[in-house]
Amino acid sequence: MTLCRFKNLKFLGPNKYSEVPDGGWGWVVAVAFFLVEIFTYGTIKIFGIFLLDLKTEFKESNSRISWVVSIAVFVMTFNGPLASVMTNRFGYQFVVMIGGLLICCGTIATSFASSINQIYITYGFVAGLGYCLTYLPTVTILSKYFNRRRSLVVAVASIGESLSLFALAPAYSAVRDKIGWRHTMTLIGALQSIVIVCGALLRPVLIVPRESDSTDADKSSPKELEALQECGHVEGSDQESCLRKENEMIDSYGTTGVSDLKCLKDEKSPEENALLQKGGVKETERTPTVTSQENDNEKQGIKDCSKLLDFSILRECSFILYSLFGLFATLGFFAPPLYVIELSVSHGVERDRAAFMLSIIAVAEILGRFFIGWILSHRLFSGRKLLVLLVCVIIMTLDLVGFTLVKEFYGLAVCCALYGFFMGTISCTHIPLLAEDDVVGIERMTSAGGVYVFIQSFAGLAGPPLGGVLVDITKNYGAAFYSCAIGMGLSALFLGLVRPAKKGMLCRRGCSKQSALDQQNKDSCEEQNGEQRQADAAAAH
């Protein structure tokens, strides 16, 4: 059980609450996420300040230099499942601290690179992998600390990305002019070591039901007791079906199974074991299952101790449709930051004035994050969060079309303000909304987030080259905005189908088959329990 013990490596220990705290240590986690945003997505966005220096020193083309950012973003998103697996196995703190170390080392190593190919490795792959191991686990555990305030807290904490573009980009540019791009890159890498400290602050959440009186203790977690009691007397394939039922319950460490509670109790101190017993999970109720597993195979015990990645989400229509929404929405994100300046210049706007477009986008994005957080935290929209997101996506689609219709500075400025505003609303909510019951739910968010980001990665890698090809063919920068509008429109279509799919309106046959299978497993467990009770009674006589 060495791997299981290593998984429980904690630096500050878990936080124990009787319910989701909606605050408490969650505020510290929110600050940590704010800093992680600055040194992950925020740093990637400001990498463009070094493009001219890299082009001059290495005598490379713009396209070759721009691949550094593309590789970093692709590695960051493509390895989403890896981040989920590592988080489920080793915990949030360890994974984020390792990610922070990779970011720091990769960025500092970039300052010593002697060719653009070396930067592909140091910044694209090493730092990109570090970004992956820090961002996704941090936003996931922050979602677990909050329930009613989740949308507001995540939105406000995520402004670090926009703040980095608005404030730190000019600051780093001034430092670069003073000490050069290599020393500036070293400085950024040193500052990114703050992420390691942020990782140590990500204390896992342990939800322990309140202690009532001794007669009502078992009623505090009836769903857990039912699953554990059923599986305590079942053998063979029926036992596996019951274990699957256990694995659908919430585990506060980022995994998706009550079976982890068994591992936690085996590995924790007597005081923490007592808390788990008070929550209704008794030693006597789970001994048959654990003993059977240890006698059969130690590896099977390790497997039950941690469910690394819940691939069953790929059988859910709601998650597949939501992933398609994320895939096509990503295609609509890239055009304005890349091409809005050149589009403005092509319409006769002076280049100095056109440069203000990026500042407009950054300020509007901050406002959009505050706005969506406030809206989604309101009770009126508690059950309509997907609908609010759908409205934002539709307006974004219309705005992308508007970029191709306006021809003067103020019209383009309005389009940039709308783009930044709704970009902020979408970018800070599309991953946390995986925790909503209309998608997959908070208990399965860790695994779902990894798969979701992995699917997004292909659009992030293909989007900019696709827009560039269209611009080269048509000789019109508006073509890139049309392609983004089409992608965003398709994402709105798939997003609108998520909630009907969750209710079974689109996949009734699959849902009915799954329900029948669940009922069959339940009946089998009940039958086995009855036979066991009869055998026990006969043995007693």
Tens-digit pLDDT string for the chain (541 aa): 444 444 444 566 777 776 777 778 889 999 999 999 999 988 888 887 887 788 889 988 766 887 888 888 889 888 888 888 898 888 899 999 999 999 999 999 999 999 999 999 999 999 999 999 998 899 888 888 888 787 788 888 888 888 887 788 888 888 988 999 999 999 999 999 999 999 999 988 777 776 544 444 444 444 444 444 444 444 444 444 444 444 444 343 333 333 333 344 444 444 445 444 444 444 333 444 444 444 444 444 444 444 555 667 788 888 899 999 999 998 878 778 778 888 888 888 887 788 788 788 888 988 998 888 888 888 788 778 899 999 999 999 999 999 989 988 899 999 999 999 999 899 888 888 888 888 888 777 777 877 888 888 888 777 777 777 788 788 888 888 888 899 999 999 999 999 888 887 776 544 444 444 455 555 565 666 666 666 666 655 5
Q: DSSP string spanning 9-75?
A: --SS--EEESS--SSTTHHHHHHHHHHHHHHTHHHHHGGGGGHHHHHHHHT--HHHHHHHHHHHHHH
- Side chain identity at residue 281, one-letter code: V
Domain with CATH 1.20.1250.20 in the chain: 16-209, 309-507
Q: Which residue's entry shows tokens 């968010």?
A: 445
Answer for the pair 242, 257: CB distance below 8 angstroms, yes or no. Answer: no
Where does residue 30 rank: exposed (0-12), middle (13-18), buried (19+ CB within 10 A)? buried
Closest CA relative to residue 193, chosen from 107, 286, 310 = 107
CA dist., res. 416 & res. 403, Å (int): 8
Instruction: Please tell me the predicted confidence (pLDDT) of residue 417.
Output: 93
- Amino acid at residue number 486: I
Residue-level pLDDT at 376: 83
Buried residues in 293-324 as b, exposed as e (16+ CB within 10 A): beeeeeeebbebbbbbbbebbeebbbbbbbbb
Phi, psi dihedrals of residue 429, rounded to the nearest 5°: -120, -25
The Cα–Cα gap between 252 and 143 comes to 11
Report the Cα 479 to chain-centroid distance in Å. Answer: 31
C-alpha to C-alpha distance for 196 and 94, rounded to whole angstroms: 9
Burial environment of residue 539 by CB neighbours within 10 A (0 to 12, 13 to 18, 19 or more):
exposed
CATH topology (fold) of 309-507 = Growth Hormone; Chain: A; (1.20.1250)
Q: Is 118 helix (H, G, I), strand (E, B) or coil?
A: helix
Protein fold of 16-209: Growth Hormone; Chain: A; (1.20.1250)
Angle between helices 51-58 and 62-78 (to 10 degrees): 120
Please choose, from the candidates 39, 22, 32, the residue with its C-alpha nearest in 3D space to the C-alpha of residue 201.
32
The answer to whether the predicted template modeling score (pTM) of the entire model surpasses 0.85 is: no
Distances (CA, A) of 96 to 203, 235, 455: 12, 39, 22
- Residue keyed to tokens 């808390």: 275
Phi/psi for 374 (5° steps) reads -70, -40
- Beta strand 205-207 with 15-17 is parallel
Q: Which of 464, 427, 457 is nearest to 165 (CA)?
A: 427
